[in-house]
Chain A
Amino acid sequence: MDFLYQVFIDPFVQMVDLPDFFLQVLWEGFVSGVLYSLIALGFVLIFKASGVFNFAQGIMVVFAALSLVGLYALGLPAYVALAATIGIMFVLAYTVERTIFTHLVNQPDIILLMATIGLTYFLIGFGEFVFGGDPKVMITEQLGLPTGSTAFDVLGGLVILQHIDIAATVIALIMVASLAVFFNKTRIGRALRAVADDHQAALSVGISLDQIWIIVWFAAGIVALATGIMWGARSDVSFALEIIALKALPVLIVGGFTSIPGAIVGGLIIGIGEKIGEIYWGPLVGGGIESWLAYVIALIFLLFRPQGLFGEKIIERI
């Protein structure tokens, strides 16, 4: 009985008793959810346009952030370094398309997945060779991003909001909104979706696969850069970030692999879910559930809604 009480009653009593603390936990969860969403967004972009699960998205985040910090360390002004990094992401997209994917048109998805895994390990090695393996500090202030924090009196307590977290949320919202319009309303967006659905048919209506893939990898590169800046501002810029990117997997399972809104909602569910789980239920099993709770949530979704919340329903004619 005591255990049941601790699982089903006590956490909720705590939430009601200390509502300001609960709000703080919610906010923290929300912010990490936004960051998960940003990472997931990079995956969704490439998956939508080529049907490839881009294993390399995580390392692209690290690579973008390291390039930015590295260029600044070379003495470039912050905004010039930012522009140059965007240039680097374009070169990366172009090179990846020209050297790898252009040769893999019409190959099975698993081949494309293997290619992105190969790309991941190449970028890890190349990144360590160029930038070194030490963690670096993100140039948050130099980029004009806010760094302070504000405390609010709510419900008889204090809730502290970091300004960088607010900025991250706003930037993520803008990115998502513009990508959604781009995908659904424009010629290039339509071409991207067409390529995702059927390579041959897309070619037959005059869509150039090469061009589309460069665009989509470039877009994913820009999303990776934004993610890298935001994550980097909260911790350090290091290769460990690459592992965090795998959190995008449960996010995508919850939200659906092909949906931009799905990436956002999935990210928030995972982010908030794992924070609340950690704080209120974690102590029951000695803590540390944050690292695996996301995958459990994803498993439950797989059982009941395998296409995810916003995924395209799988209809197969037999």
Chain B
Amino acid sequence: MRAPDDGQAAGETMLAVDNITLSFGGVRAIRNVSFDIMKGEIRAIIGPNGAGKTSMLNVINGFYHPQEGLISFRGQERRRMKPYEAANQGIARTFQNVALFRGMTTLDNIMAGRTLKMHRGFFWQCLHWGPALAEEVENRHKVEEIIDFLEIQAIRKTPVGRLPYGLQKRVELARALAMEPDLLLLDEPMAGMNLEEKEDMSRFILDVNQQLGTTIALIEHDMGVVMDLSDRVVVLDHGEKIADGIPADVQANQDVIDAYLGVAH
């Protein structure tokens, strides 16, 4: 077991990152960052632009491979991992700039999230009959539940490229939920939304956490949202961790205030 950080919550550790260092050439995007995510919590990662938040998510879901450090997910330690393997072990994510399959309908986008839940091989798929068809129908039911959950029934058959931005973000969340993840990584789920859309999205995130029991790691710039939603907050600045704890403590932390206000170090 790791030594408890300040603000350690009780319970089982879902994911722990340990002394992660990531560089691109000479630029060090993340330096010796460690934190953990407990099962069932909403963990916010905040920090000014360029602090390394998105890089951290990319490390967790396998897009980037850190030069140093270890990640353990559900007790399994690993140094590097492919995105495909991360997805297979139950890590889903959304992207800062919406990354949907633009040519496909909402339904097909969400069904794509079921890829790993469907196992019939190439030849059954070619036949599109028998077990493959049954599997398709079964997964379609699951997808319909998610569509109901996120209240996007009306846009089921709409190509996502035509949807307004706020709905695209919701479809992206739906696609991630279709994977039935244990850990959901949300990269600025509310960026560019108006107040009403933000309230909707906050409600969905809470519902996902409470009703589906999904652990969530969240990057967000809107401090109001972060303080309301999250159980614990980790703060990054220039690739280093400067604070970690419950929202109220982090908010009062002098280092955090300095980082946001840009006080000279």
Q: A190 to B104, Cβ gap below 8 A?
A: yes
B115 at the interface (CB under 8 A from A): yes
Q: Which of A187, A198, A203, A315 contacts B84 (CB 8 A)?
A: A203
Those of A194-210 within 8 Å (CB) of chain B: 194, 196-198, 200-208
**B65, CB-defined interface residue at 8 Å:** no
Task: Given A187-B120, A189-B125, verify A200-B132 contact (CB < 8 Å).
Answer: no
Residue of B nearest to A316 (CB): B161
| Residue A171, interface by CB 8 Å | no
Q: Which one of A182, A193, A196, A202 contacts B125 once the chains associate, using CB atoms below 8 Å?
A: A182
Closest to B172 in A: A201
Asked if B136 and A197 sit within 8 Å, CB to CB, the answer is no
Q: Is A190 touching B112 in the complex (CB atoms < 8 A)? A: yes
Surface stretch bound by A, among B20-28, B67-75, B95-103, B240-248: B95-103
Cβ-defined contact, A186 with B103, below 8 A: no
Contact of B108 among A182, A193, A198, A202 (CB under 8 A): A193
Q: Which residues of A contact B136 (CB under 8 A)?
A: 185-187
Tell whether, in the assembled complex, residue B112 and residue A207 are in contact, meaning their CB atoms are under 8 Å apart. yes
**Chain B hits for A194, CB < 8 A:** 101, 104, 109, 112, 115
Instruction: Check if B63 is an interface residue, CB within 8 A of chain A.
Output: yes
Q: A185-B136, A204-B61 are in contact. Are A190 and B111 (CB under 8 A)?
A: yes
Instruction: Tell me which residues across on chain A come within 8 A of B80, comparing CB atoms.
Output: none
Q: Tell me if A141 is interfacial: C-beta within 8 Å of chain B.
A: no
Contact check, B63 vs A203: say whether CB atoms are below 8 A apart: yes
A186 touching B125, Cβ below 8 Å: yes
Are B108 and A203 in touch, CB under 8 angstroms? no
- B157 CB–A CB distance under 8 Å: no
- A interface majority secondary structure: helix
Most buried by B among A185, A187, A207, A208: A187
Interface size, chain B (Cβ < 8 Å): 39
Q: Flag whether B212 is at the interface (Cβ < 8 A).
A: no
Residues on B with beta carbons closer than 8 Å to the beta carbon of A201: 95, 99-101
CB neighbours (8 Å) of B99 from chain A are 198, 200-201, 204
> Least Cβ distance of A260 to chain B in Å?
13
The answer to whether the Cβ of B126 comes within 8 Å of any Cβ in the partner chain is yes
Q: Is A312 an interface residue (CB 8 A)?
A: yes
**CB of B4, distance to nearest CB on chain A (Å):** 32
Stretch of B9-17, B86-94, B193-201, B252-260 that contacts chain A? B86-94
Closest to A198 in B: B99
B-facing residues in A159-182 (Cβ within 8 Å): 178, 181-182
Contacts of A188 in B (CB 8 A): 122, 125
Does the CB pair A186–B132 fall under 8 Å? yes
Q: Which of A193, A196, A205 has the most CB of B within 10 A?
A: A205
Distance in angstroms between the alpha carbons of A206 and B91 in the assembled complex: 9
B120 touching A200, Cβ below 8 Å: no
Interface string of B113-135 (1 = CB under 8 A from A): 11110101010011010001001
Chain B neighbourhood of A190, CB < 8 A: 104, 108, 111-112, 115
A191 proximal to B (CB < 8 A): yes
Residues of A within 8 A of B128 (CB): 181-182, 185-186
List, in ascending order, chain A residues with CB within 8 A of B7's CB. Answer: none
- Cβ of B213 < 8 Å from any Cβ of A? no
- Determine if A187 and B125 form an interchain contact, defined as CB atoms under 8 angstroms apart: yes
CB distance from B69 to the nearest CB of A (A): 21
A215 at the interface (CB under 8 A from B): yes
Q: How far is the CB of B156 from chain A (nearest CB, A)?
A: 15
Does B186 touch A at the CB level, under 8 Å? no
Q: Does B162 contact A (CB under 8 A)?
A: yes
Residues 205-228 of B, flagged 1 when their CB comes within 8 A of A and 0 if not, give: 000000000000000000000000
The 8 A CB mask of A307-318 against B (1 = contact, 0 = none) is 000001001000
Give Cα A258 to B161, complex, Å: 16
**Does B93 contact A204, Cβ atoms closer than 8 Å?**
yes
Interface residues of B in 156-214 (CB under 8 A from A): 159, 161-162, 175-176, 178-179
User: Which residue from chain A places its CB closest to the CB of B119 in the assembled complex?
Assistant: A187
Q: Chain B residues near A203: list those with CB within 8 A.
A: 63, 83-84, 87
Q: Are B114 and A187 interface neighbours, CB within 8 A?
A: yes
Partner of B100, one of A186, A198, A312: A198
A-B contact list, 16 entries, CB within 8 Å: A186-B132, A186-B136, A187-B118, A187-B120, A190-B111, A190-B112, A191-B115, A194-B101, A194-B112, A196-B101, A197-B103, A198-B101, A200-B63, A205-B115, A206-B83, A206-B87
The 7 closest A-B pairs by CB, nearest first: A206-B87, A197-B101, A201-B99, A203-B83, A206-B116, A186-B125, A187-B118
Residues of chain B whose beta carbon lies under 8 Å from any beta carbon of chain A: 61, 63, 83-84, 87-88, 92-93, 95, 99-104, 108-109, 111-116, 118, 120, 122, 125-126, 128, 132, 135-136, 159, 161-162, 175-176, 178-179
Known A187-B120, A196-B101, A206-B84; 12 more pairs at CB < 8 Å: A186-B132, A187-B118, A191-B112, A194-B109, A198-B101, A202-B101, A203-B83, A205-B92, A205-B178, A206-B83, A206-B179, A315-B161
Chain A contacts to B: CB under 8 angstroms: 178, 181-182, 185-191, 193-194, 196-198, 200-208, 215, 258, 312, 315
